[in-house]
Chain A
Amino acid sequence: MADGIIHTEGLTKVYPGADFKAVDGLDLRVRRGEIFGLLGPNGAGKTTTAGMLTTRVIPTSGTALVGGIDVVAHPALAKQLIGVVSQQNTLDRQLTCWENLYFHGRLFGIGAKESRRAATDLLEQFQLGKWADKSVYALSGGMAQRLMVARSILHRPAVLFMDEPTAGLDPQSRLALWELLGELNRAGQTILLTTHYMEEADQLCHRVAIMDRGRMLALDTPAALKATVGADTIVTVRTVGEPAGLAAHFEREVEGTTRVRPVDGGVELHIARADGVVPRVVAAAERGGFHLADLSVSEPTLETVFINLTGKELRD
Chain B
Amino acid sequence: MTVVAGQPPAPTIAVTPLRSAAAASRIALGALLLRDLTVLRKHVLEFVLRTLIQPFLLVFVFLYVFPQIGQSVGGGRGSSTFATVLVPGVVGISVMFQGVQSVALQLSQEFGFTREIEDRVQAPCPVWLVAVAKIVAGLIQGLLAALIVFPIASVVHAAGVHAVFNIRWWVVLTLLPLTCVVFSAGGLLLGCVFEPRNIGLMFGFIVLPITFLGGTYYQWTRLAPVKVGGFSWLQILVCINPLVYVNEGLRGAFTNSAHMHFYIVYPVLIGFAVLFLAAGVRAFRRRVLS
Known contacts A54-B122, A77-B21; is-contact A158 B116 (Cβ 8 Å): no
Q: Are A107 and B28 in contact, CB atoms less than 8 angstroms apart? A: yes
Contact with A along B3-18 (1 / 0, CB 8 A): 1111111101111111
Q: Does A106 contact B (CB under 8 A)?
A: yes
From B10, B20, B116, A90 is in contact (CB under 8 Å) with B116
Known contacts A33-B9, A94-B39, A99-B38; is-contact A82 B1 (Cβ 8 Å): no
Residue of A nearest to B115 (CB): A88
Q: Are B10 and A187 in contact, CB atoms less than 8 angstroms apart? A: yes
Q: Are A92 and B35 in contact, CB atoms less than 8 angstroms apart? A: yes
Contact with A along B168-187 (1 / 0, CB 8 A): 00000000000000000000
Q: Are B12 and A156 in contact, CB atoms less than 8 angstroms apart? A: yes
Task: Give residues of chain A (184-218) contacting chain B, Cβ–Cβ below 8 Å.
Answer: 185-190, 203-206
Task: Give residues of chain B (59-91) contacting chain A, Cβ–Cβ below 8 Å.
Answer: none
Q: Are A92 and B13 in contact, CB atoms less than 8 angstroms apart? A: no
Report Cα–Cα, A16/B7, bound state, in Å. 42
Known contacts A92-B35, A103-B31, A206-B3; is-contact A109 B118 (Cβ 8 Å): no
Residue of A nearest to B30 (CB): A106
Q: Are A34 and B6 in contact, CB atoms less than 8 angstroms apart? A: yes
Q: Are B24 and A86 in contact, CB atoms less than 8 angstroms apart? A: no
Known contacts A76-B25, A204-B3; is-contact A158 B34 (Cβ 8 Å): no
Q: Are A86 and B34 in contact, CB atoms less than 8 angstroms apart? A: no
Chain A residues, CB < 8 A from B115? 86, 88-90
Q: Are A80 and B24 in contact, CB atoms less than 8 angstroms apart? A: yes
Q: Are B13 and A95 in contact, CB atoms less than 8 angstroms apart? A: no
Q: Does B2 contact A (CB under 8 A)?
A: yes
Report Cα–Cα, A32/B30, bound state, in Å. 32
Q: Are A185 and B35 in contact, CB atoms less than 8 angstroms apart? A: no
Known contacts A106-B34, A107-B28; is-contact A74 B118 (Cβ 8 Å): no
Report Cα–Cα, A54/B42, bound state, in Å. 32
Q: In angstroms, how far is the closest chain A Cβ from the Cβ of B114?
A: 5
From B7, B16, B32, B122, A79 is in contact (CB under 8 Å) with B122
Report Cα–Cα, A288/B139, bound state, in Å. 82
Q: Are A103 and B35 in contact, CB atoms less than 8 angstroms apart? A: yes
Q: Does A312 contact B (CB under 8 A)?
A: no
From B7, B28, B31, A33 is in contact (CB under 8 Å) with B7
Chain B residues, CB < 8 A from A81? 14-17
Q: Are B2 and A203 in contact, CB atoms less than 8 angstroms apart? A: yes
Q: In angstroms, how far is the closest chain A Cβ from the Cβ of B209?
A: 31
From B9, B15, B34, B126, A76 is in contact (CB under 8 Å) with B126
Residue of B nearest to A33 (CB): B6
Q: Are A95 and B35 in contact, CB atoms less than 8 angstroms apart? A: yes
Report Cα–Cα, A1/B15, bound state, in Å. 9
Chain A residues, CB < 8 A from B117? 90
Chain B residues, CB < 8 A from A75? 126-127
Q: Does B27 contact A (CB under 8 A)?
A: yes
Report Cα–Cα, A95/B8, bound state, in Å. 36
Q: Are A86 and B118 in contact, CB atoms less than 8 angstroms apart? A: yes
Report Cα–Cα, A203/B125, bound state, in Å. 36
Report Cα–Cα, A260/B41, bound state, in Å. 67
Q: In angstroms, how far is the closest chain A Cβ from the Cβ of B18?
A: 6
Known contacts A93-B114, A178-B1, A203-B2; is-contact A156 B13 (Cβ 8 Å): yes
Q: Does A69 contact B (CB under 8 A)?
A: yes
Chain B residues, CB < 8 A from A103? 31, 34-35, 38
Chain A residues, CB < 8 A from B15? 1, 5, 32, 67-68, 81, 158
The 9 closest A-B pairs by CB, nearest first: A33-B6, A188-B9, A188-B10, A76-B21, A90-B119, A106-B31, A80-B17, A107-B31, A79-B124
